[in-house]
Structure 1
Amino acid sequence: MDQATDHILAAAPVLPGETMSRVGLTPAAQELLRYLRQQHGPLMFHQSGGCCDGSSPMCYPEGDFITSEADVLLGVFDLDGDSIGFWMSAEQFAYWKHTHLTVDVVTGRGSGFSLEAPEGKRFLIRSRLLDVTQ
């Protein structure tokens, strides 16, 4: 990733007992989310588990993707005073619990129902092992 990590917007940790962020947004992702928020109102993410667009983070109007006990809220972003939750299925979280996820944007249209698809962009995840020394 070319962007310095100090420009990554970290999600507030929400899992019980955690103090470090599990999810971040690159500046490009932040910019696209600002645009999408103007078009669609409050937003949310759900990390896809392999259907539709592989394992891409899917962006929806808040509440359009119904979450349940089978989903884990990994963090909440404060983007200019608006909250954007980042969710993942509990089953997938069991596999990814040792990773930090950074939401980025690339040019190219993904498949699926994510809000950025008509814009010729798609969100993607860049992952790394969690650094427990942070």
Structure 2
Amino acid sequence: MSRQEKVLATEAALQLIDRLRAKHGDLMFHQSGGCCDGSSPMCYPLGEFLIGDQDVLLGEIGGCPFYMGKAQYEYWKHTQLIIDVVNGRGGMFSLEEPEGMRFLTRSRVFPEQE
């Protein structure tokens, strides 16, 4: 059984992360199971969002830690998240909102051998 990364980012997402890092410094991501903004990956300055016991570190994208709420992780644990960007307004607290783009989570289910 090979170990696959739990979270990846598209080239477009990595380019946006680089732009945001240049403006805001080190970054972090969090995706909770909440409604509205909470169901999208949110980008914050590193340390601005408090991580707790109910958060799971899935990995890094573009050198930034990516966390998910533990309850939501239970639904997604057999899935690889692919973070992408699309045109549109992001979450009001997420750093990409003024850029006219928003982060978006795509996914694929891991085959049994993975």
TM over 0.5: yes
Q: Secondary structure at the match of 1:73?
A: strand
Where does the alignment leave 5 or more consecutive residues of structure 2 unmatched?
none
What CA distance in whole angstroms lies between the structure 1 residues aligned with 2:112 and 2:64? Answer: 24
What does residue 107 of structure 2 align with?
A: 127
Is residue 71 of structure 1 aligned with residue 51 of structure 2? no
| Matched positions, count | 113
Pairs within 5 Å for 1:1-134 = 19-53=3-37, 55-77=39-61, 79=62, 83-134=63-114
CA RMSD after TM alignment: 1.6
What CA distance in whole angstroms lies between the structure 2 residues aligned with 1:130 and 1:122? Answer: 25
- Where relative contact order (Cα < 8 A, 6+ residues apart) is larger, the structure is 2
Amino acid of the structure 2 residue aligned with 1:87: Y
What is the CA deviation profile of residues 25-52 of structure 1, one whole-angstrom value per residue up to 9, with x for unaligned ones? 0000000000000000000100132234
Amino acid of the structure 2 residue aligned with 1:121: M
Q: Percent identity?
A: 56
What CA distance in whole angstroms lies between the structure 1 residues aligned with 2:5 and 2:70? Answer: 17
What does residue 3 of structure 1 align with?
A: none
Which structure has the highest helix share of the two? 2
